[in-house]
Structure 1
Amino acid sequence: MTMKIRAEIPTPANSTNFDIVPDSVTEVGSTLDNLKAAVMGETGASAKYAAFAEAARAQGYEQIARQFEATSAAEQIHIGLEAALIQAVEPDYVRPEAPQMEGIQTDLNLISGALGEIYETSDMYPSFIVKAQEEGETKAVQVFTRAKLAESVHAELYLDAYNNIDAEDDRAFYLCPICGYIHKGDDFEKCPICFCPKDKFQVF
């Protein structure tokens, strides 16, 4: 269960999985507005996964706790990329405060995580990418694209953990510091999204 390495870095121009769901619920503004909305959403997601990690560890799911921690850190990478673009336009921009979150049963937390990531990869980020393309905001297109592709892998990993919640193993999670991609296990050489080499990855 891995994202395959392609001959070239995936982009909206060379990929066919950037369509927006027909029943989109994303409110699209200007690219600047969309960057702020993305930061807000990712801030909530990061806080949620940190809380889910605490709940998983308390419930005896050590590997899943590490997975939630890795994904929380991945969302912080997305926040940093998006906030940097906002601050280039609005130097006084202040990132939102992380909300207080609590986890419940770990199986339900995994489903909650998967649903959130599926929304981002199939609705929010594709919608924001289209607007950024219309406005010629190439840096935003790249940032949104990398986040969108990473979120789909996060969702896949959450569903895998859900399906195997009673059959945990000891594999580590490797986080790409450039785009937030996560790989389970050490059987890879580089990031399939941005081609960052394995030796740069953070291990959880």
Structure 2
Amino acid sequence: MKKLFILLTGVAIAAVTTAQAIVSPQTLDNLNSAFQGESNAAHRYEAFAKKADTEGYAYVARLFRAASKAESIHRETHKKAILELGGKIKDFKLDEVKAGTTAENLQAAIKGESYERDTMYPEFIALAKKDGAKAAIRTLLYAQKAEVEHARLYKDALDNLGRNVDLPIYVCKVCGYTVTKLTGNNCVSCREPVSNYERVD
């Protein structure tokens, strides 16, 4: 019995080692880059929200706060994936934020979200799929889907700046997906119950 236990333990350890071995160092580097990027985005959007508040754009301020919350969720899911895949979190410092006008901040946010949506995350996801790293694929897809909505919401906010648009904003606490209207019983991104959405004020 003891020999069988040792044998099974050895097989389990080998399986874990093999699973981790197929994850390329580049995928772990990509996850760390995404972790740092989302951390900086959350920090930056908080500053942008404060600027929008001072300029009297209450809805835009809430939108930035909601996006900051979403990016914080992505940061944590990226971190979890890194550790689950046997990697380590790299040390880094948050970027200094220099907020412009709300219009300028929205333009900067659109540019950043569009890059992540169209270039960064698709490249990271493609490699993660090649590696078969399910934990990486899941968190990267969560982030990319949310960035699609963030870019759209920012563009709409910029197009309607000064028109007193006021919509509710909700963020999924599981995947960070961000919406202005709750529909159906499940999150359209992670498929978890819609009860996981939190309204951001």
Confirm or deny a common fold (TM above 0.5). yes
Matching of residues 97-136 of structure 1 within 5 Å: 97-136=93-132
Quick one: which of 136, 143, 148 aligns to 2:139? 143
Extract unaligned runs of 5+ from structure 1: 1-27
- Contact map agreement 1:117 1:151 (CA 8 A) in 2: yes
Question: What is the root-mean-square deviation of aligned Cα atoms in Å?
Answer: 1.9
- Residue 27 of structure 2 corresponds to residue 31 of structure 1: yes
- Contact map agreement 1:53 1:69 (CA 8 A) in 2: yes
More helix by share: 2
Q: Helix, strand or coil: the match of 2:74?
A: helix
> Partners in 1 of 2:154 and 2:135 — Cα distance?
29
Structure with greater contact order relative to length (CA < 8 Å, sep ≥ 6): 1
1:172 corresponds to: 168
Q: Helix, strand or coil: the match of 1:43?
A: helix
2:14 corresponds to: none
Quick one: which of 22, 38, 42 aligns to 1:46? 42
> Partners in 1 of 2:136 and 2:168 — Cα distance?
31
Distance change in 2, residues 1:95/1:187 (3 Å): farther
Quick one: which of 149, 162, 166 aligns to 1:153? 149
Extract unaligned runs of 5+ from structure 2: 1-23
> Partners in 1 of 2:105 and 2:59 — Cα distance?
14
Q: Compute the displacement of 1:142 (Å).
A: 1.3
> Partners in 1 of 2:178 and 2:54 — Cα distance?
23
Quick one: which of 60, 65, 90 aligns to 1:64? 60
> Partners in 2 of 1:171 and 1:52 — Cα distance?
18
- Residue 71 of structure 2 corresponds to residue 75 of structure 1: yes
- Runs of 4+ in structure 1 off by over 6 angstroms are none
> Partners in 1 of 2:25 and 2:41 — Cα distance?
21
Distance change in 2, residues 1:197/1:169 (3 Å): farther
Aligned residues: 176
> Partners in 2 of 1:36 and 1:186 — Cα distance?
32
What's the % identity of the aligned pairs? 34
| Offset from partner CA, 1:145-190 (integer Å, 9 cap, x none) | 1111110110000000001111123321000111111111455643
> Partners in 1 of 2:185 and 2:57 — Cα distance?
28
- Residue 199 of structure 2 corresponds to residue 203 of structure 1: yes
> Partners in 1 of 2:91 and 2:66 — Cα distance?
21
TM-score by length of 1: 0.80
2:4 corresponds to: none
Quick one: which of 177, 188, 201 aligns to 1:192? 188
